Amino acid sequence: MNVVCLLGRLTATPEQKTTQGGVSVTSFSVAVDRTYQPKGAEQRQADFINCVAWRNTAEFICRYFQKGQRIALQGSLQSRSYTDKDGNRRTVYEVVVDNAFFAESKSSNAPAPRAMDSQIPTYSEAAPAFTNAGAGDFEEIVGDDDLPF
């Protein structure tokens, strides 16, 4: 099983790129806190995890997240190899992000949306409108002999 869940802060504002085939992609790094205890004194360190997101996930991250914001990610670890300009074989490990989530509440002093984001929907605008169903909206099933379970 290859599942990675991260909670950290973006080290830079993600930038959306497009492949030659027209697929959206973004690569970014997340600083994730790690606690360790050298000789009894608890200290914190950060690991910097390289991540890549594709298609709608990439567009979502680039649209709504900026440097320093907390982000929760779910994905899988992937390795890839390449040859550098000196002819050395290199291996890179990165998290391929399947899902990204807001990890902090929106504050009044949050940075303004980027120019391309003139209308970021609020929760009330994005939430569907539900109404209470009345008793006349349902049909009673008489007898359970015909049910498949």
pLDDT tens digits, one per residue of 33-62:
987 777 777 778 899 999 999 999 999 999
Q: Is residue 141 part of a domain?
A: no
Residues 92-118 have a mean pLDDT of: 72
Q: Give the number of domains in the chain.
A: 1
Residues 98-105 have a mean pLDDT of: 92
Q: What residue type is assigned to position 84 of the chain? A: D
Pick the range with the lowest mean pLDDT from 19-23, 101-105, 142-146: 142-146
pLDDT tens digits, one per residue of 68-86:
999 999 999 999 999 999 9
Residue with tokens 């379970």: 149
Q: Is residue 125 part of a domain?
A: no
Q: Is residue 100 part of a domain?
A: yes
Q: What is the pLDDT of residue 127?
A: 46
**What CATH number should be reported for the domain holding residue 35?**
2.40.50.140
Q: What is the pTM of this model?
A: 0.66
Q: Report long-range pairs for 91-96 (Cβ below 8 Å, ≥24 apart).
A: 92/50, 93/50, 94/27, 94/49, 94/50, 94/51, 94/52, 95/4, 95/6, 95/49, 95/50, 95/51, 95/52, 96/51, 96/52, 96/53, 96/54
| pLDDT of 5 above 70 | yes
